[in-house]
Chains A and B, each alone.
Chain A
């Protein structure tokens, strides 16, 4: 089964070639007429007054943290789901307990307003 990864490796090379090839081609083929106004970032016809790299909503950070938490928990489901038919009732009870803990975490975030997007 491991030799199947050779195919994935070849696809990796082909995908890299296509992606890099397209970026290279468009850099080579297109015309190049540059003047200062054209090289400014888009701002509805005005010049940009302030840098866009400023503070943004902390909610995005919170979502990222929550994702890491829940995704790590979700990763544990995968081996369980594969072995599920062999584990039987034991596996079911164990996973119910696990999901209960996960659910408590979700409920806590929910009640504390972590999922509200104001």
Chain B
């Protein structure tokens, strides 16, 4: 009887396992956003010598949950001159691309359960890193469409700034990642982690790590590169006209992108799930991965509270005249050293 059932589902095993994994990852990503908001507010509070949220629940842990429930029940205002369809579409694109780009991230090494080897990723595709660049690059559309459809000059400026900034730093991001691809000869993220079993690439490629991380901060529109949302100039940038949950969706996208970017830095430079000191299995691998990602996320928040926002012309000059030439130089150096 059970054999019959198993036999019946045999051809669909990829669909079932894939579906379960996709739902677990998507729910975890959605659930991690309120936690990150809480972490950011608490840490910012500490950095600025104040308390931060501490009233709702223990350590203020209930605060982000009550906030998200409140946002869900707020009125969704669409101002009369806005393009209604695009106005709805924009936050959906932002969240969609943020969740989808996490699909190729392996969170630990493969493990066995019920005699089946489970890969702790949703899709272990050969072009893993290209997939992430492609999908997260599409997130720009969400921001530009939000800016254009709102019919408000603050939104328009925010959308334009956002697109110009993100495409400028995408070049550096790609070329910095290329020096790692030259080292490993593969675009597959699992292969990249496997080739770091002895030494993490941060020790071999410190310059590429710095370039990639800076470009990653700019790519996720985080401070000190949060020009699209410069409150003092643009009110709130491309999401000025958004209210309620649609407003929160832009932040959801931003925080999920932060998690994806931290995971990518971990996989490319910090050795992914390699623990280096602890015994290596799926559980310690996951803990090592989660620890590294959490450390990078705290680093993001630390950057925000340390650096003032940089001026827009300096931002573009920094990207094109400083980071891009260094990234190309680093790629040349890496390939030359690799051959000789």
Task: Evaluate whether A78 and B178 lie within 8 angstroms (CB atoms) in the complex, with A53-B156, A67-B167 already known.
Answer: yes
Smallest CB separation, A24 vs chain B (Å): 9
Interface centre among A32, A82, A85, A92 (most CB of B within 10 A): A82
A interface, by DSSP: helix, strand, loop or mixed?
helix
Task: Decide if B96 touches A67 in the complex (CB within 8 Å).
Answer: no
Contact partners of A16 in chain B: CB under 8 A: 96
- How many residues belonging to A are interface residues under a CB distance threshold of 8 Å? 69
Query: Residue on A with the closest CB to B240?
Result: A42
Contacting A at CB under 8 A, from B318-334, are: 320-321, 324-325, 328, 331-332
Query: Residue on B with the closest CB to A86?
Result: B185
Smallest CB separation, B301 vs chain A (Å): 25
Query: Residue on A with the closest CB to B124?
Result: A4
Partner pick for B75 among A25, A30, A64, CB 8 A cutoff: A30
Contact partners of A88 in chain B: CB under 8 A: 339
Partner pick for B245 among A14, A26, A32, A53, CB 8 A cutoff: A26
Chosen A-B contacts, 25 in total, with CB atoms closer than 8 Å, are A1-B124, A3-B14, A6-B14, A7-B122, A8-B122, A8-B131, A10-B122, A12-B103, A14-B26, A15-B99, A18-B95, A19-B249, A23-B88, A26-B76, A30-B74, A40-B81, A52-B156, A60-B164, A63-B316, A77-B175, A81-B185, A84-B338, A92-B335, A95-B335, A106-B325
- How many residues belonging to B are interface residues under a CB distance threshold of 8 Å? 87
Task: Evaluate whether A41 and B22 lie within 8 angstroms (CB atoms) in the complex, with A60-B164, A102-B328, A110-B321 already known.
Answer: no
Partner pick for A30 among B73, B79, B170, CB 8 A cutoff: B73
* B contact residues vs A (CB 8 Å cutoff): 14-15, 18-19, 21-23, 25-26, 30, 71-82, 88, 91-93, 95-97, 99-100, 102-104, 121-126, 130-131, 150-157, 160, 163-164, 167-168, 170-171, 174-175, 178, 181-182, 185-187, 235, 240-241, 244-246, 249, 312-313, 316-317, 320-321, 324-325, 328, 331-332, 335-336, 338-339
Task: Decide if B160 touches A5 in the complex (CB within 8 Å).
Answer: no
Contact partners of B130 in chain A: CB under 8 A: 78
Task: Decide if A82 touches B23 in the complex (CB within 8 Å).
Answer: no
Smallest CB separation, B123 vs chain A (Å): 4
Contact partners of A81 in chain B: CB under 8 A: 178, 181-182, 185
* Bound CA span A40–B152, Å: 9
Task: Decide if B167 touches A82 in the complex (CB within 8 Å).
Answer: no
Task: Decide if B175 touches A74 in the complex (CB within 8 Å).
Answer: yes
Contact partners of B100 in chain A: CB under 8 A: 8, 11-12, 15
Partner pick for B244 among A26, A39, A84, A92, CB 8 A cutoff: A26
> How many A-B residue pairs lie within 8 Å, measured between CB atoms?
212
Task: Decide if A7 touches B123 in the complex (CB within 8 Å).
Answer: yes
Going nearest first, the 4 A-B pairs with the smallest beta carbon separation are A26-B245, A52-B153, A117-B313, A7-B123
Task: Decide if B76 touches A115 in the complex (CB within 8 Å).
Answer: no
Partner pick for A26 among B14, B19, B72, B150, CB 8 A cutoff: B72
* Bound CA span A15–B167, Å: 24
Contact partners of B178 in chain A: CB under 8 A: 74, 77-78, 81
Task: Decide if A25 touches B123 in the complex (CB within 8 Å).
Answer: no
* Bound CA span A1–B241, Å: 44
Query: Residue on B with the closest CB to A39?
Result: B80
Task: Decide if B80 touches A56 in the complex (CB within 8 Å).
Answer: no
Task: Decide if A41 touches B170 in the complex (CB within 8 Å).
Answer: no
Task: Decide if B241 touches A41 in the complex (CB within 8 Å).
Answer: yes
* Bound CA span A39–B88, Å: 16
* Bound CA span A81–B129, Å: 13
* Bound CA span A3–B23, Å: 18
Contact partners of B75 in chain A: CB under 8 A: 30-33
Contact partners of B313 in chain A: CB under 8 A: 116-118
Task: Decide if B185 touches A38 in the complex (CB within 8 Å).
Answer: no
